[in-house]
């Protein structure tokens, strides 16, 4: 085999079978909305809002809860690659704006320490999951970029990666 492997463009892949297509449609039209509602209800999005001063109160959830927001953005971005769903696109855009606003000037992004005591940053790699969340942010940024050719979240991920470096 010669040459490098290159993933096909998202628009070059079409799933039309009777097994996967209905499941993908359910994911796009039902599951992602339900998951978004859960992010609202469990405080995941409010933690970002607290960082930017749009919500009060203490941090909610486990320290690694930011990853759930990033996983949702990744899944929603890939769903939007094949289905135009304006309400979902609006939610993604709003969450991206919130993530971008929450990022610290030095590139750091982990709401647990940004809401609580900022002095704990990078102090416990075993338990605090800062790198775990960073990895999910990077995956979300790649999915969003591949879907929309938009570097908004990719720039957030680059800034965080530069901060880690």
Q: What is the pLDDT of residues 80-120, one digit of tens each?
A: 998 899 999 999 999 999 999 999 999 999 999 999 988 89
Instruction: Of 128, 123, 112, 97, give the one whose Cα is nearest residue 66.
Output: 112
Per-residue model confidence (pLDDT) at position 46: 98
**Rounded to an integer, what distance in angstroms lies between the CA atom of residue 121 and that of residue 129?**
11
Instruction: Please state, in angstroms and rounded to a whole number, the distance separating the CA atoms of residues 96 and 110.
Output: 15
pLDDT at residue 1 is higher than 70? no
Distance CA 137, CA 156 (A): 9
For residue 91, count other CB atoms closer than 10 A to its CB.
19
Contact 44, 95 (CB under 8 A): no
């Amino acid at each position: 085999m010669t040459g490098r492997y290159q993933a096909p463009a998202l628009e070059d892949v079409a799933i039309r079978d009777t097994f996967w297509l209905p499941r993908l449609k359910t994911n796009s039209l039902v599951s992602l909305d339900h998951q978004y509602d859960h992010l609202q209800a469990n405080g995941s999005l409010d933690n970002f809002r607290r960082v930017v001063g749009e919500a009060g109160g203490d941090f909610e959830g486990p320290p690694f809860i930011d990853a759930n927001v990033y996983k949702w953005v990744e899944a929603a971005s890939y769903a939007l690659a094949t289905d135009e769903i304006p309400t979902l696109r609006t939610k993604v855009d709003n969450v991206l704006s919130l993530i971008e606003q929450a990022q610290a000037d030095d590139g750091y992004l982990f709401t647990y320490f940004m809401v609580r005591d900022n002095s704990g940053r990078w102090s416990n790699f075993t338990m605090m999951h800062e790198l775990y969340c960073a990895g999910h942010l990077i995956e979300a940024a790649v999915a969003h970029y591949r879907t929309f050719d938009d570097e908004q979240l990719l720039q957030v991920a680059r800034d965080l990666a530069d901060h880690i470096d």
